[in-house]
Structure 1
């Protein structure tokens, strides 16, 4: 947005709303605003109409523990056609500190009102010496305007703390002449400000609770990521991916998602679910989460295997056998790193190596590999064996159990369903509940694609180099054919180009090797 948006300019001043609606009607109008920015806009508009002011400013009080200040949040001027909302650029509209070098800032009228909690009514800002109006004069010079009468009021919450300051400019008579704000104007505006402060305070309280919940769930996600460097930032990337794909679905006007849309509450619901989708991993053993090699975590491990091979080489008198043992050790070291696939030939070779022996210190012959080592070395994908995989998979049961026990408000009631469905399959062969595509919501299916894509392209997995997009898309394509992931979500993700936004921010340049996605859509 520019510094301010233009509304219909008019040289005709705003007339006061002399037939003011009842107090109940005012409260209803205030209550109908569901955003803090919209409410501040409404408060200023209502105050202008009640007093006949042609302009005004709403300052939001901010105290972040470092410094107290008033921030320009809404500015109206019907003569200049200016109407800004809460996102006015800071470069143009500066914050007003309540204190300067440790001293109260009484030179600015808005900060003075915030400090004293008392209204200030000025007939002409150009003739008063009580406050510094150099900024007002500069504004007037830039816009060919003349600020004259000003009424500045504090907004106090139920604890008598300032939460905002309302400033009205240039009251007008019925026939459009400049006038001062009367005592009646001031009393009326003050009464309205009390109602407005109650509504605003309630919204600020709700927002503070929402901010606390956001901070808490994001802290949980960071804890999960910190526990395992191999999945570092996974919980932080899933919300990004999920919301990118959901945005594409909302923008789809004539495809499968034409009727899909999310309002503000539903966006927040999806946001919370995405951040909490792996919260059950807090109960998963760090030994399993951090298993970066197939033999990692076993009592003997690869170092013990290496020592056995060294003993076998030392005991052998056959150079060919020594060379074979060294090649076998190199092979074991390679497959110990894990990967996306292990051939039947490699697994057969592991079995053959296990059948060979080495002499211990007592001269007794023992197998080069134990049964547990064979089991782990023959893991076909990654570094986790079936038992460990089952332990990790239990995280989704724990996630659902935790989330279903939380007293989510109605607006967040689908968080457990969204967060708990990212390991289901479209054919019903997923887990934990074996849901089919028709039994799953669109957000849950979106999260499933996001979870797989992030895992494929993650840069931190120890058993594989960063996977290029071409390989990731090929795997997703096969998963679509196998009814693992949702075909419409997969197609939307590729056709919308949202993957480009994600790749630009979260992948290495060398991973982005795709220009045309059409081969992956067949």
Structure 2
């Protein structure tokens, strides 16, 4: 070998070492396991000048090697990975039917013995079975010659896969040559880095899965407390991501600079899933309050009983008066007594039906109706089970029955609203990693308003992230259209969007986000996926964009 050739070889080795360092850095940053595996094989082929290669991974039961990525440049073969071409080859078994090591296959031998195998020519190698390789060559006209199989070991020394390279090529002539000792060392170094990268990615994936399972556990706890909120915890994140993706795709307008990468998406997804985690602290009788008098049960039943007592008392009084008239046998007077009682009973029945309707909380309550509740509550008297004459309704019952809209008193609404404070407190206690550090802010801002009149912090639009504002729109729209609330039916699309538009002009929600919500028909895509068909009615999008 001449001096010049030696220098060229050293230069080539240094260049490949630099490639190896660059590859290691790139592998540590890759989050997608499929792209990671593909990068490993492509990198191994590059630094060893290999024409082809296969990356195998150990199956979960540790009994076989599974094909993950396959590449052969000269045959233009690309299978697995991002190629879109599936690998349909069967797994390579590590043991035979009797449980003995399957040392006849190169990749299996490397995995079983935790040892690199470097073969100069498969056709002259007697220690391994290359019958399958020869069949492949016959079908394709290829000539499989040099092989390098390197086990990939994790940080605990366990083999997690095999990197197999085929047909090293001379960098200048392109002639197929054996894999050199330098090729082997570089491939082993890469395999080590690759195994660590794969293990780290798997650990991250497992931790993320565990974390998301805990989130699901929290939402399940909320769902078990109240099945009315379980769907909400799933639908709001879905709508949040729909709108966020629409904003991300926007090329013009005030939100054109907003972008998301995969980490941003994951952060927002987690925030969406946790946005109501504080509801685990909310009493179920408040969350599920379907009528104004409901606590553990609908206390309208007690009011009904009092009406029955009053009616019975009226009948008894009338009958007693009739009996008193028996001595004089005045039929007209008896009829008058019973008629008076019936009139009073009819009035009670009318009051009872009125209170039943008031108890539903479905319509905005008028001042006259509120006054009538109070008159019934304090005007009528009844004798309770202790024999004490009392107001017909207690002060607490009057307070509930005179709720102007909905079924919650001011105190109960404060209890409901506290869930967002609890959410923020809970989330701020967690040691969030850097890529999830904004979860508390995103999740905790969905009840704020653009004009600063929201809660719990009274933030203005400028003080909030785009993500928190997106979640605010998603939370409101889901609540308006939800068909599983105890106190109302889900609204039709046109009605809900009309209310959303009023919120836009009234400073409640972000106007720019709402415009994208309308223009990109996010509302319609959500409706088609989550609403009942009868809710999806005719709408006029032009009426909602200013």
TM-score w.r.t. structure 2 length? 0.82
Please, which of 59, 66, 76 is the counterpart of residue 71 of structure 2?
76
What's the CA shift for 1:222? Answer: 2.5
What's the CA shift for 1:295? Answer: 1.4
Please, which of 53, 68, 88 is the counterpart of residue 56 of structure 1?
53
Larger-gyration structure (1/2): 2
The answer as to 2:23 corresponding to 1:29 is yes
What's the CA shift for 1:480? Answer: 1.3
What's the CA shift for 1:432? Answer: 0.8
Is the CA contact 1:98–1:115 (under 8 Å) kept in the aligned structure 2?
A: no
CA RMSD between the two structures: 3.3
Q: Deviations over 1:476-500 (max 9, x none)?
A: 1111121111111112112112223
Q: Deviations over 1:214-269 (max 9, x none)?
A: 22223222322322112122112221111111100000001221100012222222
Query: Who is 1:3 aligned against?
Result: none
Q: Deviations over 1:8-66 (max 9, x none)?
A: xxxxxxxxx94443646523332224223333233212211222211222234453xx7
Query: Who is 1:6 aligned against?
Result: none
Equivalence map 1:281-300=2 (5 Å): 281-297=279-295
Query: Who is 1:437 aligned against?
Result: 461
Q: Residues 232 and 185 from structure 1, CA distance in 2 versus in 1: closer, same or farther, beyond 3 angstroms?
A: same
SS of the equivalent of 1:230 reads helix
The answer as to 2:485 corresponding to 1:461 is yes
Is the CA contact 1:52–1:171 (under 8 Å) kept in the aligned structure 2?
A: yes
Q: Deviations over 1:65-87 (max 9, x none)?
A: x7766444333332243446645
Alignment gaps of 5+ in structure 1:
1-16
Indicate the larger mover: 245-254 or 231-240: 231-240
The answer as to 2:530 corresponding to 1:501 is no
Is the CA contact 1:76–1:84 (under 8 Å) kept in the aligned structure 2?
A: yes
Is the CA contact 1:104–1:115 (under 8 Å) kept in the aligned structure 2?
A: no
SS of the equivalent of 1:76 reads strand
Query: Who is 1:151 aligned against?
Result: 148
Please, which of 506, 509, 520 is the counterpart of residue 485 of structure 1?
509
Indicate the larger mover: 40-49 or 424-433: 40-49
Equivalence map 1:96-245=2 (5 Å): 96=91, 103=99, 106=102, 109-122=106-119, 123-124=121-122, 130-131=128-129, 134=132, 137=135, 141=139, 147-173=144-170, 174-245=172-243
Is the CA contact 1:69–1:95 (under 8 Å) kept in the aligned structure 2?
A: no
Q: Which runs of 4+ in 1 moved over 6 A?
A: 99-102, 125-129
Q: Residues 313 and 103 from structure 1, CA distance in 2 versus in 1: closer, same or farther, beyond 3 angstroms?
A: farther
What's the CA shift for 1:119? Answer: 3.1
Corresponding residue pairs, total: 505
Distance (Å, rounded) in 1 between the aligned partners of 2:14 and 2:23: 13
What's the CA shift for 1:400? Answer: 1.5
The answer as to 2:38 corresponding to 1:41 is yes
Equivalence map 1:296-445=2 (5 Å): 296-297=294-295, 301-317=299-315, 318-339=341-362, 341-354=364-377, 355-360=379-384, 365-445=389-469
Is the CA contact 2:38–2:82 (under 8 Å) kept in the aligned structure 1?
A: no
Q: Deviations over 1:290-347 (max 9, x none)?
A: 3233212178812211111222222335334333433433343344333364344443
SS of the equivalent of 2:251 reads coil
Distance (Å, rounded) in 1 between the aligned partners of 2:398 and 2:12: 88
SS of the equivalent of 1:59 reads strand
What's the CA shift for 1:464? Answer: 0.9
Is the CA contact 1:59–1:70 (under 8 Å) kept in the aligned structure 2?
A: yes
What's the CA shift for 1:186? Answer: 2.9
Q: Residues 193 and 363 from structure 1, CA distance in 2 versus in 1: closer, same or farther, beyond 3 angstroms?
A: closer
Is the CA contact 1:125–1:149 (under 8 Å) kept in the aligned structure 2?
A: no
Distance (Å, rounded) in 2 between the aligned partners of 1:380 and 1:137: 82
Q: Residues 499 and 57 from structure 1, CA distance in 2 versus in 1: closer, same or farther, beyond 3 angstroms?
A: farther
Please, which of 252, 274, 287 is the counterpart of residue 250 of structure 2?
252
Distance (Å, rounded) in 2 between the aligned partners of 1:433 and 1:461: 27
What's the CA shift for 1:435? Answer: 0.5
Query: Who is 2:338 aligned against?
Result: none
What's the CA shift for 1:349? Answer: 3.5
What's the CA shift for 1:436? Answer: 0.6
Q: Residues 332 and 80 from structure 1, CA distance in 2 versus in 1: closer, same or farther, beyond 3 angstroms?
A: farther
If each structure's helix is expressed as a fraction of its own residues, which one has the higher value? 2
Q: Residues 224 and 78 from structure 1, CA distance in 2 versus in 1: closer, same or farther, beyond 3 angstroms?
A: same
Query: Who is 1:518 aligned against?
Result: 542
Is the CA contact 1:20–1:50 (under 8 Å) kept in the aligned structure 2?
A: no
Q: Residues 28 and 88 from structure 1, CA distance in 2 versus in 1: closer, same or farther, beyond 3 angstroms?
A: closer
Distance (Å, rounded) in 1 between the aligned partners of 2:193 and 2:84: 29
Distance (Å, rounded) in 2 between the aligned partners of 1:124 and 1:513: 69
SS of the equivalent of 2:15 reads coil
